[in-house]
A = this chain, B = another copy of it.
């Protein structure tokens, strides 16, 4: 990955639908080597895919919740059960395995506080081995960055 690849990644993170012609111009290459670099980045898994960024409020899901979860014991089995359970729950946008006091950090998206209550009751509580659930509501987004630094 040289400087040109980094430039390509920066441009595609800021506009994932850039045409190859436009992208090539911005990174000072002709279209064909530019396209070949993009395909290589895709094949190597550096580019995992492309996505449309949807406005949560306009979509009807204005509420973002961060949830810190601890398991009651830390066997491989308990972790596997938990991690498997969350995969099928659509409201969970992402889940990180954490160091320190909490085991998992979830970002969950819902339409309202009422729906969040339902979510906790119907989706979270049925999962076994969960010792504690710590909920933090987000009022709004102050910053949102598309491109990784550097």
Chain A residues at the B interface, C-beta cutoff of 8 Å: 9, 12-17, 44-56, 58-61, 64, 66, 83, 86-87, 90-102, 104-105, 109, 136-150
Asked if A96 contacts B138 (CB within 8 A), the reply is yes
Asked if B51 contacts A12 (CB within 8 A), the reply is yes
Closest to A18 in B: B50
Asked if B98 contacts A145 (CB within 8 A), the reply is no
Query: In the assembly, what is the distance between CA of A91 and CA of B96, in Å?
Result: 18
Closest to A8 in B: B52
A105 to chain B, nearest CB (A): 6
A63 to chain B, nearest CB (A): 11
Asked if A54 contacts B59 (CB within 8 A), the reply is no
